[in-house]
Structure 1
Amino acid sequence: MRELEAEKTALSTRAAELDRRESALDERELSLTERSERVLELEEDAKRGFAGYRHEQLERLRGELDERRALFDAELHAREERLVRALAERESALARREEEARDREAELEAVRLEQQRTERRLAAREEYLEQEAADRADDLRAELEAELERERHNASSWRLRWEAVNRLAEERDRALAERDVAIAVFGGRSEHEIAEELTRLRAENAELRRDAAARPVADQDRVAELESRFHDLTVEREGLAQRNAELRRQVAAAKISTVERENSRMVNQALERLNETLRAEIHQQTVTLEQLQAESQRTSPFPSCFSMDADPTLNHRPPLSVGPVDLADLVTRVRHRMAADLGLFYSEQDMRCFVAGLATSRLHLLQGISGIGKTRLPEAFARVTGAGSETVAVAAEWRSPQDLVGYYNPFERKFYETDFMQALYRAQLPLFADKPFFIVLDEMNLSHPEQYFSDLLSALERKEGDSSERPAIRLLTARVDPAPALLRDGRSLELPDNVWFVGTANNDETTVRFADKTYDRAHILELPSRPTPFQGDDAAPLTPVSMRNLQESFQRAAQKHRDAARRTLDFFDAELGDRLRDDFGVSWGSRFHRQAERFVPVVVEARGTPGEAADHLLATKILRKLSGQVGVPAGELRALADLVEARWSATFPDTPPERSLRAIRAEIRARGAG
C-alpha cells in the first residue's frame, strides 16, 4: 500500500507537471497568435505606404518566430527525451505489476498524442502565418501594380492636357502675332488714335483727290509712284510681322516643351522609385519562394500517407480472433446485428451471396434501384465484423486512372492524394493489415469504369491468374524522397490482399453500362427493391474477424464441398452448354470455372444449397450475356426457360431456378412479347 501511495503521489505530481506544461504551451500559442496579429497590423501599415518599415518588422518577427520555433522544438525534444526516460524507468520499476504498467503507459501515450496534436496545431498555425504573409505580399504587389497603372494613366492624362495647352498657346500666339502685325503697321498707336488718324486721313484723301483732279498729270504720276512705294513697304512690313510672330510661336513652343520634359522627368523618377520598390518586393518573394522550395525538398510529396506512417493509432496491431470462422454462424450473426443495431434488413440468401462473393472475386458490383441499401451493405458488414471501410464517391467527369488514385505536380513537388489512394494505403497499415478492408465506389457507373478503373482491373486480373503475384499501381515515373514507408521503390503502391472493391450501380439515364470484361471479373449481387423487415437478434458483438482466418475458412469450404462445385459446372456444361452456345452464342471459360469453384462451396458451407449457388451464377454470369441481343426472338427465350426448368430439378431438386427464370422473362418482356 505504501508503494501504491507513493506511486499515486508521483502520478499526481506528474499530472500537475503536465498541466503546467500544457498551460505553458497555451501561453506560447497565445503569444504566437498575438505576434501573428501584429504581423497583420504591420502588413496593413505597409499597404499605407510604409513598405520599408514593414519589411524590417517582418524580418525581425520572422527571426523571432524562427528563434522561438527552434527553442520550442528543442524544448519539445527535451521533454520527449525526459518522457522516454521516465517511461523506461517506470517499466523497469513496475515489471511485476504488468496491468498497472499498461494503464500508466496508456496515460503517457495519451500525453504524447496530445503533444503531437499540439505540434500539428502549431505547424498548421505556422503554415497559416506563412501563407497569410504570402497572400499579403501578393495583395501588396497587386496594389503596387494598380498604383503604377494609375500613375501611367495620370501621366497620359497630363500629357493630353499639355498637348491641349500647347494647341491653345499656339492659337493665342497666332492671335498675338496678328495683333503685333497690326500694332506694327499702325506705329504702336492706340485704337482711338488710329480711328482719329483714319478719319483725318480719309478727309485729307478726299481733299487731295479734289486737289489732284485740278493738278497736272505729272503730279498724278508722282502720287501713283508714292502709292506703289507705300504698298511695297506695307507688304514688306507685313512679312516682317509674320516672321516675328513665327519666332514668338517657336519661343513659346520651346518653353512648353521644356516644361513637358521636366514633368516627364518627374514622372519617370516616380516610376523608377516604384520599380525599385517592386524589384525589392519581388526579390523578397523570390527568396521566400526559394526557401519554400528548399523546405519542400525536405518534406514528403505524400503528406497524408507520411502522416499515417507517424500515427501510432494506425500503426498499432490489435488482437484478433484465432481459429476458423464458422461461415454459417458469421452470416446469421452479421445479418441479425445489422437489423438490431442499424435497422438494415437483408435476406439470408443475399447475405450468403455477399460472403461467398468475398471468396470469388476482389471486385463486387451491387445493383438495384436507388435507396435500397447498396452502399450501406459493405459499410455495415465492415462495422459489424470489425473490418475497415472507406466510401469514395465517383464523379461523372472521371476519365483516367489519375482521377481515381491522384496525380503528381512536379512544380509543387506534391502528389495530390485522393480518398481512394489514401484508403488503399491505410488498408496496408498494421491496424488494418490483418483485417478485411472494403473500398466502396459509390455510383461506380456514373463514368466508364473501364477508363478510370483500368489499372485496377489489370492488377486484379494478374492477381487472379497467379495468387503469388504482388501487383502494384505505379503512381510516379521515378522515385521521390522522402517516400512513405509502404511505397514500393518510392513510386508504386501495392494492391494488398485484404482489400475488396465494392461498386454500387444504378441503371438509369444518368449512368453508363458496364463492359462485359468488367462483369466477367466481378461478383454481381442484385438486391431486391423491397427488403423484408425482421426482428434482429441482440446477440453479443462479433469478435473482429482476421483476414487469415477468413481465407482459411474459404479454403476449407472449397475442399469440403468440391463435389458440389463440380456437379454445378457439369450441369452447366452438359445440360445447357450446347444450347446456349449454338442458339445464343453464349459461352464461358476458365475464369467462370475458377469463380464457381470458390463460390458454390462457400454458399453450401453457409447453410445454402448447390441449387441456390447455381441459380445465382446462371442468372448473373451466363444469362446476363443475353442482354442487348435484339436478334434473339422471344420464342427461343421461352424455349430456353422451358429447358432450364425441365433439366433443373434432376440436378438441384431442393431449389428452383427463380432468379434465372426471372432473368429470362425480363429479356422476353424487353422484346415486347410480354
Structure 2
Amino acid sequence: MEREAEISNKERALQQQQRRLDAEWKELERERDQIREDALREAEQEIAGWKTAHQRARDSRQKVYEELESTRQEIEQFRELSEVLAGRSAREILDELAAHKRRVTQLENQLASSEDDQLRAENEVLRKLRDEQKVQLDEVHIELADAKAQLHRLRLGVSDKENLEKEKRALEKNNQILSARLNDLGKTVDDLTQSQQSEKPFPQMAWMDSATNADWIKDRKAKELSLSAQDVPELKKFSVELQHRIAQAEDGATLHFCLEDIQLLIAGLAMSQLHIFQGISGTGKTSLAKAFAKAMGGHCTDIAVQAGWRDRDDLLGHYNAFEKRFYERDCLQGLYRAQTDAYKDRCNIILLDEMNLSRPEQYFAEFLSALEKNDPRDRLISLSESQLPNAPALLVEGRRIRVPHNVWFVGTANHDETTNEFADKTYDRAHVMTLPRHEAGFKVEPKPKASFSYGSLIERFDAAVTQNADEVSELLAELTTGPLTSILQDRFDLGWGNRLERQAMRFVPVYMAAGGRKEDALDHLLASRVFRRGKVTGRYDATIDDLNAIEQALTTVWKGWKSEPRRSMALLAEDRRRKERGA
C-alpha cells in the first residue's frame, strides 16, 4: 500500500510538472506570436512610409503637369491674339481706337440736344393737366360744404342715440364685473380640485423626479454631485489609491485598512451586489462601507436594522390606502436615488447595519431572489398589488421598484447571543469579508476629493475577467479534478456548484488585476464558501481525520504556488483544536 501511495504521489507530481511545462509552452507560444506580430507591424509601418513617399512624388508630378498645361493655354491665347491683329502694328490699332472715341462723343452731343426738345413738350402737357385738376378741386370744395351742412343736421338727432350708448356701456361694465367674479370662483374651484388631485403618494421620490444637481446640492447637501465623475484607472493602481482615499474619507478619523482588504473589496464588488462584513466590534465594518461610498463620490444610505423586522415593509415602507400615501423608508429612497440622472453613473451603497439582528431570509427575502436573476431588468420588488395613483416616473408599472445594478447592499454582522446566524442562501449569494483588528498603520497620501463613474468601474471589471479568463479556468479545472474534490464529496457530501464557479470567474480575475495572487483569491473563496462554519468546520459528524485529509489535499493543490492557503488552514486548525477539547 505504501508503494502504491508513493507511486500515486509521483504520478500526481508528474501531472503537476506536466501542467507547468504545458503552461510554460503556452507562454513561449504567446511570446513567439508577439514577436511575429511586432515584425509584421514594423513591416506594415515601413510599407506605409514607402506608400506615403510614392504618393508625394505622384502629387508633385501632377502639379508639374498642371503648370505645363497652364503655360500651353497662355501660349495658345497669345497665338489667337496674333491672328486677330492680322499683322497690324499696335500704333495702327490705337489710332483706330481714338477715332472711334471721337465718333462716340459726337453721337452723345446729338442725343443731348434731342432730349431738350422732348422735355419742353412734356412740360406743356403737364401745364394743361394742372389746369384741369384745379377745376376739379373747386367742384370738391362745393361738395364738402354741402356735406358739412348735412352733418350739422344729423348731429341734432344723435343725442338720443348717445344716451342709449351710455346705458349700454353701463350694462356691459356690470357684465364684466360679474364675469370676473365668476372666473375667480371657477379658478378657486379648479385650484382646490387640482390640489386634491396633485397630492403625491411618494413625496420624496416625486421630488427626486424633478430635482436637478443644484437642487440635490442645496436641499439634500449632496456635496458629491459638485464633482464631475472621472474614469477609474487601472485596477492595481486604483486599489492603492482607494486605500488612501478610504483612509481620509471620514472627518476626524483615519481608517487604516490593509491593501489586501481593499483588493478583496474590489473583487467582491465585481462578484456580487450583496456583501457581508463580519468581525468583532471595532474593526471598522460600518466605517469601511461609508468610507468607500465617499471615496468613490457616491452615496451611502445608512439603515439600522431592528430586531423585530419580519418582511419587506420593514425595509421599504408601506402604502396607507386611507391617506393615499406611501411611507417611504430610507432603503426605498436609496434604491430610487440610484436610478435618477444625478446618481445613475455613481456607486451607491445601502448599508444594513447589524444585518443579522433580525433574519435577513425574512425581511430581505425578495431582494435575495431579485439579485439572483441574470437579467437586471427582471430585478423588481413589488410595492403594491395594483398601480398606484400619481406614481413616481421611475417605478415600473407604477407599483414596482427596480433593484439597480449600481447599488451594493452591505450588511455588517456581529455574532453573539443577540444576533441570528445567516442561512446558506444568504452566505452563498454574498461576498463575505471577515475584518481583523488593524493595529499597524501606514502613511496616508493626501488626495483631493474625487468622483469615479460606475460605468468605468464595470468596464475595468469586464476587462480583467476577459484578460485572465483562461488562467482562472485552468485554476478551477485543477481544483475540481484534484483530490480535494473527492474528499469533500465522500466525507462531507459537498460539491462545486455552478454559482461558486460563476462567482470565481469574476472574483479571481479582478483580484489578480487589483494586484493580488490567484491562489490568495481562491483561498478566500474556499474559506468563506466551503470551509465556513456549518459546511466543513463546526460539524459534529466530522472527525479530526477528516480535517487532516482536507489539510493534506489543500497542501497538494497549493504545491508550487508562492503562498499558502492561510485562511482555510486557520479555520481547519481552529476546528481541530475545538474537537481536541471535546467541544
Per the TM superposition, whether the score is higher than 0.5 is: yes
Q: Deviations over 1:532-569 (max 9, x none)?
A: 2111112x336311111111100000011113321331
Q: Residue 544 of structure 2 corresponds to which residue in structure 1? A: 634
SS of residue paired to 1:395: coil
SS of residue paired to 1:607: coil
1:569 aligns with 2:501: no
Q: Give runs of aligned pairs for residues 117-266 of structure 1, distance below 5 A.
A: none
Alpha-carbon distance in 1 for matches of 2:557, 2:414: 33
Alpha-carbon distance in 1 for matches of 2:308, 2:287: 24
Alpha-carbon distance in 2 for matches of 1:414, 1:628: 48
1:375 aligns with 2:286: yes
Q: Kindly indicate whether the alpha-carbon contact (under 8 Å) linking 1:318 and 1:431 is maintained by their aligned counterparts in 2.
A: no
Instruction: State the Cα distance separating 1:416 from its structure 2 match.
Output: 1.1
Q: Give runs of aligned pairs for residues 311-390 of structure 1, distance below 5 A.
A: 311-313=211-213, 320-321=228-229, 323=231, 325-342=233-250, 343-390=254-301
Alpha-carbon distance in 2 for matches of 1:323, 1:420: 28
Instruction: Choose the corresponding residue for 2:209, options 299, 302, 309.
Output: 309
Alpha-carbon distance in 2 for matches of 1:646, 1:334: 35
Alpha-carbon distance in 2 for matches of 1:568, 1:420: 39
Instruction: State the Cα distance separating 1:323 from its structure 2 match.
Output: 5.0
Structure 2 CA distance for partners of 1:468 and 1:425, relative to 1, 3 Å: closer
Instruction: State the Cα distance separating 1:606 from its structure 2 match.
Output: 0.8
Q: Kindly indicate whether the alpha-carbon contact (under 8 Å) linking 2:231 and 2:452 is maintained by their aligned counterparts in 1.
A: no
Greater RCO, 1 or 2 (C-alpha within 8 Å, sep 6+): 2
Alpha-carbon distance in 1 for matches of 2:352, 2:239: 23
Q: Residue 447 of structure 1 corresponds to which residue in structure 2? A: 358
Q: Kindly indicate whether the alpha-carbon contact (under 8 Å) linking 2:256 and 2:442 is maintained by their aligned counterparts in 1.
A: yes
Alpha-carbon distance in 2 for matches of 1:531, 1:513: 28
Q: TM-score, normalised on structure 1?
A: 0.54
Alpha-carbon distance in 2 for matches of 1:548, 1:318: 19
Instruction: Choose the corresponding residue for 1:515, options 401, 413, 423.
Output: 423
Alpha-carbon distance in 1 for matches of 2:331, 2:398: 19
The runs of at least 4 aligned residues of structure 1 exceeding 4 Å deviation read 293-297, 314-324
Q: Kindly indicate whether the alpha-carbon contact (under 8 Å) linking 2:406 and 2:454 is maintained by their aligned counterparts in 1.
A: yes
Q: Kindly indicate whether the alpha-carbon contact (under 8 Å) linking 1:346 and 1:532 is maintained by their aligned counterparts in 2.
A: no
Instruction: Choose the corresponding residue for 2:403, options 459, 479, 495.
Output: 495
Q: Residue 397 of structure 1 corresponds to which residue in structure 2? A: 308
Code of the residue aligned with 2:555 in structure 1: it is E
Alpha-carbon distance in 2 for matches of 1:375, 1:296: 43
Structure 2 CA distance for partners of 1:449 and 1:341, relative to 1, 3 Å: closer
Code of the residue aligned with 1:348 in structure 2: it is L
Instruction: State the Cα distance separating 1:671 from its structure 2 match.
Output: 2.6
Q: Kindly indicate whether the alpha-carbon contact (under 8 Å) linking 1:473 and 1:492 is maintained by their aligned counterparts in 2.
A: yes
Instruction: State the Cα distance separating 1:436 from its structure 2 match.
Output: 1.1
Alpha-carbon distance in 2 for matches of 1:404, 1:589: 31
Instruction: Choose the corresponding residue for 1:504, options 400, 409, 412.
Output: 412
Q: Give runs of aligned pairs for residues 530-545 of structure 1, distance below 5 A.
A: 530-538=438-446, 540-541=447-448, 543-545=450-452
Code of the residue aligned with 1:640 in structure 2: it is I
Alpha-carbon distance in 1 for matches of 2:290, 2:319: 30
Q: Residue 37 of structure 2 corresponds to which residue in structure 1? A: none
Q: Residue 299 of structure 1 corresponds to which residue in structure 2? A: 199
Instruction: State the Cα distance separating 1:500 from its structure 2 match.
Output: 0.5
Instruction: Choose the corresponding residue for 1:458, options 365, 369, 376.
Output: 369
Larger deviation, residues 518-527 vs 557-566: 557-566
Q: Give runs of aligned pairs for residues 551-630 of structure 1, distance below 5 A.
A: 551-575=458-482, 576-624=484-532, 625-630=535-540
Instruction: State the Cα distance separating 1:468 from its structure 2 match.
Output: 5.1
Alpha-carbon distance in 2 for matches of 1:557, 1:661: 28
Structure 2 CA distance for partners of 1:303 and 1:668, relative to 1, 3 Å: same
Instruction: State the Cα distance separating 1:418 from its structure 2 match.
Output: 0.7
Q: Deviations over 1:438-495 (max 9, x none)?
A: 1110000000000000110111011xxx235432111011112211111111111111
Q: Deviations over 1:351-393 (max 9, x none)?
A: 1000000000010011101111101112101111212211111
How many residues get paired? Answer: 382
Alpha-carbon distance in 2 for matches of 1:368, 1:567: 33
SS of residue paired to 1:430: coil
Instruction: Choose the corresponding residue for 1:647, options 554, 557, 570.
Output: 557
SS of residue paired to 1:561: helix
Alpha-carbon distance in 2 for matches of 1:485, 1:315: 18
Give the number of the structure whose residues are more often helix, by fraction.
1
Alpha-carbon distance in 2 for matches of 1:500, 1:531: 28
Q: Residue 100 of structure 1 corresponds to which residue in structure 2? A: none
Instruction: State the Cα distance separating 1:660 from its structure 2 match.
Output: 0.7
Alpha-carbon distance in 1 for matches of 2:275, 2:537: 20
Gaps of 5+ in 2: 1-183, 218-224
CA-based RMSD of the aligned residues comes to 2.5
Fraction of identical pairs, as percent: 40
Q: Give runs of aligned pairs for residues 81-96 of structure 1, distance below 5 A.
A: none
Structure 2 CA distance for partners of 1:345 and 1:513, relative to 1, 3 Å: same
1:525 aligns with 2:433: yes
Q: Residue 39 of structure 2 corresponds to which residue in structure 1? A: none
Q: Kindly indicate whether the alpha-carbon contact (under 8 Å) linking 2:350 and 2:408 is maintained by their aligned counterparts in 1.
A: yes
Alpha-carbon distance in 1 for matches of 2:424, 2:376: 26
Instruction: State the Cα distance separating 1:591 from its structure 2 match.
Output: 0.7
Q: Kindly indicate whether the alpha-carbon contact (under 8 Å) linking 2:537 and 2:572 is maintained by their aligned counterparts in 1.
A: no
Instruction: State the Cα distance separating 1:669 from its structure 2 match.
Output: 2.9
Q: Residue 453 of structure 2 corresponds to which residue in structure 1? A: 546
Q: Residue 123 of structure 2 corresponds to which residue in structure 1? A: none
Q: Kindly indicate whether the alpha-carbon contact (under 8 Å) linking 2:232 and 2:238 is maintained by their aligned counterparts in 1.
A: no
Q: Residue 478 of structure 1 corresponds to which residue in structure 2? A: 386
Q: Kindly indicate whether the alpha-carbon contact (under 8 Å) linking 2:376 and 2:404 is maintained by their aligned counterparts in 1.
A: no
Q: Deviations over 1:9-30 (max 9, x none)?
A: xxxxxxxxxxxxxxxxxxxxxx
